[in-house]
Amino acid sequence: MTKETAKRIFAFSILLNIYFIISSVCRWSCSCADRHREPDEAPVEQIEEALPDETGAAAETVAEIAPAPSDTCHSIIYYRRRMNYTAEFNDLNDVHLEQAKRTGLSAIPADRAAVARLGGLLVEISDNDWYVLDNLTHSVPYLTKGAAAELRDIAKAFCDSLASKGFPAYRLVVSSVLRTQADVNKLRRSGNPNASENSAHCYGTTFDITYTKYDKVVPGGDYMEPFELTKVLGEVLKARRDAGRCYVKCEKKQHVFHTTSRH
């Protein structure tokens, strides 16, 4: 063997060793990436499945469980296509107002003191096992007996539906109820476009349920994003509305389901 041949063999062996080293490093890097995959990089086979919409709309990608940053909790995803809430819940304000005037208070209370004098016409509502009240800066926590019962039934059905599906426990958040004349005036000064005596909220029959936040009963552990919980709430509201128990309008600007009891 000549010196030139020996040099070539030696150089080739060095290149071959470098190749094996680089290959090993690449395999190790890929393995680490799989172990530390970010939540939005879940394996495709885990999350991809197309579900048809009830209205025939294009299917969307959903998952049962998406990985969360923590190893001990997961984001639970309801294996169900989201309905078009604005199209499904589109009862006009005039319909709400007509119902409110028919089954609610005969006149708009002047202020909170006037509400207290109404006695048995209204029921005071408060946090309970099924819903909580948001910071009511422009309304008072009172409803007619029928509306209070409807709110309770909707909230209870929502909680029962979560439990039956094995989902974490959440309560609904009620963001607006009875508005007095003083509340309407206050809203007007704040520039709210819904500040009017021609609102079903003024008659004690109507309440708003927010769909951007929910109250988790037990902190920590597996959780659900608001838009997943709203799938469950949407099913409950549709069932109640179809049964003739309430009118519902999805108000996108306020992020609420504006709901008027029909009894």
Distance in angstroms (rounded) separating the CA atoms of residues 234 and 86: 11
Q: Tell me the pLDDT of the chain averaged across its residues.
A: 82
Q: Which pLDDT band holds residue 186 (cuts at 50, 70, 90)? A: confident
What would the pLDDT profile of 68-90 be if each residue is shown by its tens digit? Answer: 445 588 999 998 999 999 999 99
Per-residue confidence (pLDDT) for residue 18, from 0 to 100: 65
Inform me whether the pLDDT recorded for 99 exceeds 80: yes
Q: Which pLDDT band holds residue 66 (cuts at 50, 70, 90)? A: very low
DSSP-derived secondary structure for the chain:
--HHHHHHHHHHHHHHHHHHHHHHHHHHHHHHHHHT--GGG--HHHH--EE--TTSPPPEE--SEEE-SSSS-EEE--SSPPP-HHHHSB--HHHHHHHHHHHS-SS--SSHHHHHTTGGG-EE----SSEEE---SSSBSEE-HHHHHHHHHHHHHHHHHHHHTTPPPEEEEEEE-B--HHHHHHHHHHT-TT-SSS-GGGGTSEEEEESS--EESS-SSSB--HHHHHHHHHHHHHHHHHTTSEEEEEETTTTEEEEEE--
Look at the block and give the residue holding tokens 């179809």.
242
Per-residue confidence (pLDDT) for residue 189, from 0 to 100: 82
Contact indicator for 30, 37 with CB cutoff of 8 Å: no
What would the pLDDT profile of 213-252 be if each residue is shown by its tens digit? Answer: 999 999 999 999 999 999 999 999 999 999 999 999 999 9
Among 167, 240, 232, 231, smallest CA distance to 207 is for: 240
Average pLDDT over residues 182-192: 82
Residues comprising the chain, all counted: 263
Instruction: Show the tokens assigned to 59.
Output: 């299917």
Average pLDDT over residues 194-198: 66
Average pLDDT over residues 144-166: 98
pTM of the model: 0.73
Paired with 248 in beta bridges are 259
Which phi and psi (to 5°) does residue 29 adopt? -65, -40
Per-residue confidence (pLDDT) for residue 88, from 0 to 100: 97
Per-residue confidence (pLDDT) for residue 37, from 0 to 100: 36
What would the pLDDT profile of 10-59 be if each residue is shown by its tens digit? Answer: 665 666 566 556 665 455 444 443 333 333 333 333 323 333 333 333 33
Per-residue confidence (pLDDT) for residue 51, from 0 to 100: 32
Q: Which pLDDT band holds residue 119 (cuts at 50, 70, 90)? A: confident
Q: Which pLDDT band holds residue 176 (cuts at 50, 70, 90)? A: very high
